[in-house]
Structure 1
Amino acid sequence: MSLEEVAESYLHDLINRGLVQINELSLDGNLKSCKVHDRVHEICVREAIKGNALCVINDNHAPKSSHWLSCQTSHWPITQASYGNCTLDDIRSVLIFGKDVYYSKCRLAYPCLKLLRVLDLSFLKWSRSMPSEITDLVHLRYLSLSTIGSLHELQFLKLKNLLTLIVTSWMEKCPLHLRCDILGLPQLRDLRVDKRCSQYLPCLVKENLQTLYWLKIASSDDEKPNFRMVPNLKELGIYIEGQLEPSYLESLVYLHRLEKLKVEVGRVERFCLPTSFPPNLKKLTLRHTYLPWKEMDTIGRLRHLEVLKVKDFAFCGSKWEPSKQGFRKLKALLISRSNLKYWNTSFNHFPVLERLVLRYCWELKQIEIYCSFFTTLKLIVFECCYSSLVTSANKISSGRPLRVRKIGTKVEMPNNESSEDESVESSNELSVRKLKEKVSKSLNAFKELKRKGVLVGSWLKLIRPSLMNKFSIVFMSSCIG
């Protein structure tokens, strides 16, 4: 087992014991994020502080020596005055959660930081280049930064022990400029940078690299990328700008361990699917590719594909008739923002599909799902789709173990179903409207109680605890006033 697989098994063990809670599941039903209960969190923090493993720095707690520093203040807490007497073995991890730290006050040159392993500055919005002493922390294993501008002066190659590097821009209109030799780091396993940061595949084989987001491919005029240089990749994101020949990405077939692939297209007139895909690909995401629906047959032939996400007009056209021999192992399908009008599914289409998510499919009014789905389909989610689509799915789910969930609907205009002025009501608008209705009923009850001489405190007991949030309290107070 790999280190990641061992860690995942430990995490599931904690979940089974009830010490960790599942917070969010991925489209295919796997664990995406988790959390701990407030009481469990309090116990963990208290015991970590008691054992001198953790120091939480905020307005109520002064800095002190500890292995882990959790900094939650608006000022930079690591100064000569607070940590000048610390030994080299004290501080191993620094996590910054304050968002208004002035960058010029941040110094990382103190001796107590020389053995630092983890440095997370992703919550800080740096407006200029990062402190140059970051690259002197040669024992770093994990580094996360958020900035704008150029980072060419930072000598990342000095971080010989770095395993994970995350660099993002906090302002979309100010893209980052990174050195093109970052993949030359000898121990690097996980690299995550913005889409428009040019990264090229290394000239030497990098067997340690497992995750790469994003690899930018500008045009077919350059030399074709040789994915044999990163043979052990498991996750890959490709951002394409410029016209490519179908054979330009043919070396993807050599990524035998790749399980997750994302392809996003920028300024390209026409995109063609690669002639070959990684043989063991399980998850595929396409965005802004503008392919005809008939190209779905090529994707359907991927033998191990389990999750497919097509976003932001990845496929265009009004009609889709899937191939009967495709998608034999597909368990989850997401279609987001599409002009699809007619989708006919019949016997042998998607034989093991379990989850279907449709978002912003404004033209699709009805979906024909035949009996081949009934034994496997467990969940259908509609977000901002026609109410008629939701109605048809509810008829299918009647008497069967199938859940239909809607998040807002696109409602037809009365007496004019062909009108283009249909309104889309978001889930937030629905929540506010329902909340106002419930509060209105409660106010009527309050008036009746007041007429009978009952105190306001008794009226408050009629309100459900779930309604007692900031909005309802302000809303009710204004009405009472």
Structure 2
Amino acid sequence: MYDSTVRSLLHLADGLLSINICFPLLRVLDARNITFSMFPIEIVQLVNLRYIALIYIGKHEIPASISKLCNLQTLIVFRRLWYDKVWILYLPSEILKMPQLRHLLFEQGFLPCPSDAGNGNLQTLTGVIDFRCTVEALQRIPNLKTLGISYHYDSRTKWSIYCLENLFNLHQLETLKCDFVPKPSRKPLVPLVVDLAFPPNLKKLTLSGCRISWTNMLTFGSLANLEVLKLKDFDFEDSVWKTNEGEFRKLKFLHIGCKNLEFWEVEGTHLPSLQCLSLGNCPRLNCIPSEIGEIPTLQVIALFGCEKSVVTSAYSIQEEQQDLGNDGLQVHNHKDFYKIGNSFRKMIQKIEASV
């Protein structure tokens, strides 16, 4: 196997793998069927690698020597749960200095803010926890298109140190997912800063575990290019949501999971491009406004664990549209998203992916 000309290696069996210098020309290494307890240091000798995908268990740290992989474009490191323990992946600051790196995907990784040179090629950064969005840090990753971050907080957390309002400076950002996770699981939801700002080119936004102020909702509605909005496990500032004319002009996919939302006031012209409305974990919502049925582009209303009155209003909207000759609107009611059929799940995913 020495002096092998193999370029790609996908390890599909569960077991050990010798990835030493046997494959000097290796470009692709996918070993997600192996669980590593520590980073396989031999990898840094494979200087032709473009793509690495690994699974780890326990406390894991990627060595600074990974920066030797000057051709690396994609690094995927996921974790495997062990006795329900949550382990954090620690990343070296040198990782953002790798010139060809484009995609960094993790589940829970701690990335220190870069203090000097950054990476103008980086397009994807997901799974980073407690990332400080200082102006200096964001200037070192200016061309980021996809960002996934989470914040673990308690009653002593000072949100100003994370500088979330600076996300506006990522002018190329198209997809943002931000989760707020309380350290004691029964703590109340955390409020977002009032002056939270998003970059103008944002197309997909997912927020979970937080409280949304009406100022925030006006910010969401004013995003000219927003096509997907998911608000999960959150609270509104008030129990009534009123959309306005001119908001959400391009929004195609809307998911609402709000615990305190009771009334929703909307006109058919407020969401002119909506294709899929998804509602889940809205125990106080009394009904879906009938005006939703007037949206000409609407294809699907998906309900997950909603009250009977909400389900009834959805089918009433469907019947009304059928009476008007519109047979294209589908209504799907499920108690649990994870128990729905594959065909329906794929349909929802297809609509979202088409955006």
Task: Provide the TM-score with structure 1 as the length reference.
Answer: 0.61
Deviation readout 1:96-141 (Å, 9 max, x if unpaired) = 2223x2xxx4322243x11111111122222x21321111111100
Question: How far apart in 1 are the matches of 2:237 and 2:292?
Answer: 27
Separation in structure 2 between the aligned mates of residue 271 and residue 285 of structure 1, nearest angstrom: 14
Once the two structures are TM-superposed, the CA of residue 370 in structure 1 deviates from its matched residue by 1.2
Q: Which amino acid aligns with 2:123?
A: Q
Q: In the superposition, relative to structure 1, how do residues 389 and 240 fare at CA in structure 2: closer, same or farther (>3 Å)?
A: same
Distance 2:162 2:281 in 1: 33
Q: For residues 201 and 308 of structure 1, do their structure 2 counterparts lie closer, same or farther at Cα, with a shift above 3 Å needed?
A: farther
CA distance in 1, matches of 2:35, 2:79: 9
What is the aligned partner in structure 2 of residue 96 from structure 1? 11
Tell me how far apart the structure 1 counterparts of residues 236 and 32 of structure 2 sit (CA, whole Å).
34
SS of the aligned residue for 2:25 comes to: coil
1:1-38 per-position Cα deviation (integer Å, ceiling 9, x unaligned): xxxxxxxxxxxxxxxxxxxxxxxxxxxxxxxxxxxxxx
Question: Structure 1 residues 427 and 355, CA, compared in 2 at 3 Å: closer, same or farther?
Answer: same
Q: Secondary structure at the match of 2:278?
A: strand
Query: Larger helix proportion, structure 1 or 2?
Result: 1
**1:134 lines up with 2:43 in the alignment:** yes
**Aligned twin of 2:61:** 151
Q: 1:343 to 1:125 in 2, by over 3 A?
A: same
Distance 1:274 1:107 in 2: 52
What secondary structure, in the 3-state scheme, does the structure 2 residue paired with 1:245 have? helix
Structure 2, gaps ≥5 residues long: 183-188, 342-355
Amino acid at match of 2:171: H
Contact 1:200/1:215, CA 8 A, preserved across alignment: no
The whole-number CA distance in structure 2 between the counterparts of 1:134 and 1:314 is 46
Counterpart in 2 of 1:188? 101
Deviations 1:351-377 (A, max 9, x none): 221110112222223111317734221
Question: In the TM superposition, what are the counterparts of 1:432-443 in structure 2 within 5 Å?
Answer: none
Does residue 1:258 correspond to 2:173, yes or no? yes
Is 1:230 aligned to residue 141 of structure 2? yes
Alignment of 1:106 with 2:17, yes or no, is yes
> Unmatched 5+ residue regions in structure 1?
1-82, 409-424, 432-481
Secondary structure (helix, strand or coil) at the match of 1:312 reads strand
Structure label with greater radius of gyration:
1
Task: Verify: 1:311 aligned to 2:221, yes or no.
Answer: no
Q: 1:404 aligns with which of 318, 331, 336?
A: 331
1:387, distance to aligned residue in structure 2 (A): 2.7
Partner residue, 1:119: 29
Equivalent position SS for 1:194: strand
**Is the alpha carbon distance of 1:366 and 1:372 closer, same or farther for their aligned partners in structure 2, counting shifts above 3 Å?**
closer
CA separation of 1:93/1:202 partners in 2, compared to 1, >3 Å: closer, same or farther?
A: farther
CA distance in 1, matches of 2:165, 2:118: 18
Q: Secondary structure at the match of 2:297?
A: coil
RMSD: 2.8
Q: What's the counterpart of residue 90 of structure 2?
A: 177
CA distance in 2 between partners of 1:106 and 1:337 (Å): 47
The amino acid that maps onto 1:121 is: A
Whichever structure has more strand as a proportion of its residues is 2
SS in 1 for 2:139: helix
User: Match of 2:212?
Assistant: 291
Offset of 1:274 from its aligned partner? 5.0
Letter in 2 for 1:230: I
Check the 8 A contact 2:194/2:213 in 1, yes or no. no
Give per-residue Cα distances to partners, 1:296-318, cap 9 Å, x unaligned: 12211111111101112164642
> What letter is aligned with 1:383?
F
